[in-house]
Amino acid sequence: MRQLPSYEDKSLTDHVCLLQKSLYGLKQAPCAWFTRLHDFLVSVGFSPSKTDVSLFIYLRDNICLYFLVYVDRVTALIDKLALEFKVRDMGVPSFFLSIETVPLSGGMLLSQQRYMKDILKRAGMVECKPVTTPVSSAKATADPVVPYADPTQYRSLVGTLQYLTVTRPNLSYDVYLLCQHMHAPTTADWASLKRVLRYVKSTLNLSLRISRSSSVDIHAYSDSDWDDDPDDRKSTSGFAVFLGNNLIFWVCRKQ
């Protein structure tokens, strides 16, 4: 590794540092990697997005390219990347980061069915009884608060459900509620988590559809439960944004 700025040995300017640990194991690695990638993309004509730091846009001579994770079928860009980095063209996407892409006429489905099955297997609920709703309609009772015996298991499963909301926006609110109790889960919270997993079991075939749209109009929808939390009387709000016919962004958070 090159000597760090302001820490160079003036008598040994042609020397480099010997790393005692892999660079990719360091906390600074993601920042260093992104800085290098950012500088390279800017040098070949891309402009960074002001709203999404991982999105780069190329606009020149009636050509418009969006660079987010990787770009395929753009030979010139791949050739330039290959000169600077190790690049492997993986072809048409099929399974990436636990998300399966299923081609359809005029679009595709983004499915995490295999990921959902892995979650159920990790929780020991492969053979659980499915339910049609993720939250019980029964009113909460003033039962004694009993801490859950394995909070690490609770946090681990809730964390996996957070990633599941990448293609399952209908779970965002329920997972958000579970996340409110990560610090000290109780047996009641564990029961709520198990119900969400039972709902996942009944909806393994649900996925997110992305299709061609003749419209590029943006529509946003929002809702709030109006201070429904009995503890702090705060509201939980959610909104969804559509680009044409496609759902592209959604959020659920406490006000």
Q: pLDDT-based confidence at 89, cuts 50/70/90?
A: confident
* β-bridge mates for residue 94, sequence order: none
- How do residues 51-87 score in pLDDT, each as one tens digit? 877 889 999 888 888 887 543 445 666 777 788 888 7
Using alpha carbons only, give the angle 138, 167, 133 rounded to the nearest 5 degrees.
15
Residue 205, amino acid: N
- How do residues 216-254 score in pLDDT, each as one tens digit? 899 999 998 887 777 778 888 889 999 999 998 988 888
Q: What is the pLDDT of residue 140?
A: 55
**DSSP string computed for 96-119:** ETTEEEEEETTEEEEE-HHHHHHH
* Cβ-based neighbour number of residue 236 at 10 Å: 19
Alpha-carbon torsion (187, 124, 200, 128), positive or negative: negative
Residue of 89 and 160 predicted with greater confidence: 160
Q: What is the pLDDT of residue 177?
A: 87
Alpha-carbon torsion (117, 68, 30, 22), positive or negative: positive
- How do residues 118-152 score in pLDDT, each as one tens digit? 999 999 999 999 999 988 755 555 567 899 999 99
Q: What is the pLDDT of residue 71?
A: 39
Q: What is the pLDDT of residue 235?
A: 86
Q: What is the pLDDT of residue 27?
A: 66
